[in-house]
A and B are shown apart, each in its own frame.
Chain A
C-alpha cells in the first residue's frame, strides 16, 4: 500500500548554519570583548545552533542568565539576547541606569528573539520564516491554507515576494500548507499514545531534547538526550503506537544479546575484529536501548497508576459522541477525587468542543465542583477558556435570535463591545460533530483495528480518531484545492485559500510532492507522526514547520489564571 517513491529531503542543515551565521553577525556588531546575557528560555534553542566555543570565538567572555538582579559583570560591553518582553527590557533599563548613576560607561546591545504572544506580533516572524524557506528551497508553486492567521501570513509573505527578487533555480519544495491551530483544538487536547508524543506528554521534550530522571536511567543521575533520527532505536519507534514499542524493544534486546554472545568461542584475531568493528556500535545501541526501555517502563508505571485505560475510553467516547452522560460523570468523579487538575480541565475542554458547548446546568455544576476541588482562583482560568471558546456554555437557539434582534439597537450603546464579544465567541463555536461526519474522522468501530499494521492516520489515537488537522491536509492535497469541501470550510469559519504561483512545476515532480506544512499556533508530535504516515501512504514527504511543538498541558497551562 505504501508508496516507495517518496522524494528525498532538501539539505536542512543549511538553515542551522544560516541561523548561526546570523547570530555571529549580530554579536560582531558589538566588536571586541563582551559579556552575554541570555534569557533562560533561549538557552535550549541557542544550543541547537551554536555552542560555547562559537561564542568564545566571537569575543564573548562570560555568559550570564537573565535573572532580574543587579549585574556583576565587569565587562565594558554588554550584549543581551532576550525575548521582547516588557519586563526584561525594563530590567535592562535598570542596569543601564544603575551604570549611569555610578558614572560607569559601557556599551550595550540588545538582540530580540521573537516569540508567539497573545497578539499578532509574531506574525511577521512566521512570515519571515516562510520567506526564508521560499528563498532557499523555493520557489513555491502552490499554497493552500485555512484560518485567518494563515491568510494574514500568506498576505504578508506575498508582499515580500512581490517586492523581492527571485533567482532562477529549480524548486526543492513546491507545495505549502498553512494551517491555524484555531481550526482544530480537538487534536492537541487528546492524550497522545504514539511513542514520541507520549514522551512529550510525560517527560516534556524541549527543543528536541528530553531529560530522563533517575527512574528512567536506574542510576542517581539524570541524562539529557537528543531525540532525533540519529538515535537509531528512537528513530524506529518514534511514530509507533505505544503498544508496538515493547515488542520492538524486546526483539532488539534479544538481537543485541545474540550479537554479544558471538564472542564466545572467538579466537584472538576474531575478537580483535569484533572489538574494532562491532563493539562500538553495539555499545551505542545498548545505551540507547536501556534508555528507551527505562522510559517505556516509567511511562507504563505512571499510566497504570492513573487509570489511563479508562481515561482513554472516555476520551474516545467523547470523540465519538457516545455515552456522553457517562463521560460527564466520569469527569465529575475525576474532579471530586482531586485527580490531576490538568487532566480534569483537558477533559472538560474536550467535552465542550466535541459537544459544541456544555448544557448550562452541566457547565455550572462542573465549574462549581472544579473550583471547589482545585481552588476558587480558577475562576480566572474559566474566564480565559471561555474567551478562547475552549470551554463554553451552549447557547440556545432563542438566545441567538434575541441577541441578533437586539444588536441593531445596541450598536451605539456601551454594551456594544460585550455583544461583539458574545458574537465572536459564537462564531468560534465548534462544529466538531458535523465535521467529524463529513470528514469521516471517527472510523467505524465494528472492525478490529490492528495497530501493528495501521491502515489510516487514526492509528495515532489507537484507531479511534483521525486528527482533523491532518485530514484537512490530506483532502486538500488530494483534491488540489478546496473544491468539494465547501461544507467543511463553512463549519471551520472559512479563510481558506488555494493559490498557484508563477513558476510552472510539473504536477508530479518531486518538488510538488515535498509539502511544507506550517502550523500557526503549534502542532503536536502525534500530528507529525500522522503526517509521516500519510506521506508514506501517498508518496508525499512532509516538512513540518511550527511556531511551537505543543500538547494539551502546554496549551492549557498558558490559560491557567491561578498565578499572579
Chain B
C-alpha cells in the first residue's frame, strides 16, 4: 500500500495512535502520582485500625484454612439416567475421511482426571447439587470381567478401542507387519496421541529400524509423534538415524550441534564446535557455526590465554609483539595492574557471550589496540564481517559509557571532498542522541548531536526534553516563529543566559517574524 507524502503527513497528524502515548510522562504519570498521593494520605488512617488482617483478596498459599466439607460418596452405580429420545446425534464432518468404522463402547469424561473412564458411573450428588445436575464419579474397582479381557483375542481395531478406554491390552500378540501397521493406523485415526505413542513404543521394540523408518515416512502424524517421543526420552542416536533415513540432513546437523549446550567446559565446547564444522548444515548455517567456533576460540584467548605463547598464528609482523605484552584479561584484572579494570570491574567473564557483547567488551577494554591483536575491536569487526552500522552503534555505546567523548566525536568524523571535517553517522542522529543520553552524556555533549538532527520537529522536541535551550532557540529563530519563542521564554529559568538570548532575539528589529 503506497501513500503519497501528503497522505503520510495527514496520517501521522490525524493518527488515532496519538490518542494515548506512553511517553507523555508529564501528563499521565503525574496524574498517577496524584492518585497515589491521595491514596497514601489516607494510608495512615487505614493502618491505625488495621488490627484484623481481613483481606478479601484471596491469597495463594498452602496455609490450612477451614474448608467446606467435601461431599463425596463412592458407590458403583449403573447408569440410572433415563435415555431420552434423541434425534440423530451430531454429524460427522464430511471432510474427514471416515475410513475406519469405530466400535461402540462406553467411554466418558472422567478421563480428564484419570486417563481412563467408563460411562456407567453417573452418580448424582443430591446432597450437594441441585437435582438437575449430574456429576460423574469414577468407578472404584475394575469389574472382574475386565481382567479376562486381557487374554481375549482382540482385533487391531478393537485393541485400539480398548487402549482408548484405558483398558489393559496385549500388543505382543500382533506379530505380522500388517497387523502392527493396522494398529498404528487405527491409533492415528482415533486422534489420541497417547495411544499413538503407546503403539509406536511397541513398534520400536518389535520392528527393525529400517522397516519402521520406511513405514513412518508415509505416516506423517505418527512420524511427528515418534520424533517427539525420541526427543523427550533423549534417544539421540536413534533420532539421528531416523533423520538420516528421512533425508533430513540439516535437521540432523542441527540436532548434533545442539549438544554443545550441555558442555560446560569451554575448551571441550570449543573442540566440539570444531567437530561440528563438517556437519551437513545449509551453506548459510555452516557459516554461522564457523563463526560460533571462531568466537569461542577468540574468547578463550582473550579471557585466559596468552596467544603468543600458545603459538597461534593470527597475524604477522611486529604487531604480534603487542599481544605478547598483553597479559590475558583474567590475569590483568586479578593483578590489578590495568587501571580500567579497577575503574570498571568486569561483571562477568566474556566466555560464551554473544559476538556483539564481545565486540562491546573489546571496545570497552581494548579500544585503540592495533588491528593485529585478537582483542582489538577492529580485528573482531574484520574477522566476523560486522556491518558498519553495527560496529558504529557498539563502539558508540561503549565509549559513551566510559565518557570518552573525544572517542565518540572521532567516530563521526568524516571528510568531504574539500577536506573539511563534518559529522556523519550510519545511525540517524536522534538515535545517536538516545544512545548518548542513556549513557548520561552531559548537555554539553548532547547538544552537538541534537543540532544535527535533520527533522526540525524531532530536533525541537528532543532539545526541549533534554534542555538544550540554545538549539530550541535557534531553531525557532530559523523558523521565524516569534510566538513559539515567546512561549518558550516561560519555560527557561528567569534571569538565565537562555532567557537573555531570547530577549535579544525578540528585540532584534532585523528579524522578519512570520507571526
Contacts and interface: CB of A to CB of B under 8 A. Distances in A.
A399 interface: no
A151 B95 CA distance: 10
Contacts of A91: none
A266 interface: no
B38 A257 contact: yes
A462 B17 contact: yes
B16 A445 contact: yes
Nearest to A20: B70
A104 interface: no
Interface stretch (A401-409, A492-500, A529-537): A492-500
B95 A313 contact: no
B42 A284 contact: no
A336 interface: yes
B111 A128 contact: yes
A556 interface: no
A168 B96 CA distance: 30
Contacts of B54: 280, 284
A58 to B, nearest CB: 8
B109 A286 contact: no
B143 interface: no
Contacts of A501: 87, 89-90
A321 B1 contact: yes
Given A167-B81, A167-B134, A286-B46, A161 B67 contact: no
A127 B225 CA distance: 19
B19 A562 contact: no
A151 B96 contact: yes
B248 A417 contact: yes
A133 to B, nearest CB: 9
Contact of A448 (B14, B34, B55, B225): B14
A143 B66 contact: no
B173 interface: no
Contact of B356 (A338, A416, A447): A338
A288 B112 contact: no
A242 interface: yes
20 contacts: A22-B114, A47-B62, A121-B192, A132-B136, A135-B109, A151-B93, A166-B84, A257-B38, A309-B22, A332-B389, A372-B384, A377-B260, A445-B15, A449-B16, A450-B19, A463-B17, A501-B89, A502-B86, A504-B87, A561-B258
B246 to A, nearest CB: 4
A424 B224 CA distance: 13
Contacts of A509: none
A100 B94 CA distance: 54
B49 interface: yes
Contacts of A284: 54-56
B88 interface: yes
Contacts of A502: 86-90
A112 B111 CA distance: 11
Given A250-B31, A502-B86, 16 more contacts: A21-B71, A63-B62, A114-B115, A119-B193, A123-B192, A124-B193, A129-B112, A290-B39, A304-B22, A372-B355, A376-B355, A416-B247, A451-B20, A464-B17, A497-B95, A561-B258
Interface stretch (A179-187, A223-231, A510-518, A547-555): A223-231
Contact of B57 (A168, A241, A288, A380): A288
Contacts of A122: 193
B23 A24 contact: no
Nearest to A247: B31
Contacts of A322: 1, 3
A340 B88 CA distance: 55
A300 B58 contact: no
A-B CB proximity, top 6 nearest: A121-B193, A502-B87, A243-B20, A120-B193, A376-B292, A414-B247
Given A165-B81, A449-B16, A499-B91, A380 B254 contact: yes
B39 A289 contact: yes
A71 interface: no
Contact of A21 (B70, B93, B115, B190): B70
Interface in A296-322: 296-297, 300, 303-304, 307-309, 312-313, 316, 320-322
Contacts of B193: 117, 119-124
User: How many interface residues does chain B have, given as a range?
Assistant: 35 or more
Interface size of A as a range: 35 or more
B62 A52 contact: yes
A27 B221 CA distance: 36
A450 to B, nearest CB: 7
Interface stretch (B98-106, B304-312, B324-332, B407-415): B98-106
B57 A312 contact: no
A445 B11 contact: yes
Contacts of A487: none
Contact of B109 (A50, A132, A368): A132
A312 B67 contact: no
Interface stretch (B125-133, B371-379, B485-493, B495-503): B125-133
A164 B91 CA distance: 15
A379 to B, nearest CB: 6
Interface stretch (B148-156, B281-289, B362-370, B440-448): B281-289
Contacts of A128: 109-112, 117
Contacts of B84: 166-168
A243 B18 CA distance: 11
A66 B225 CA distance: 26
Interface string A237-252: 0000111001101101
A394 B32 CA distance: 46
A162 B89 contact: yes
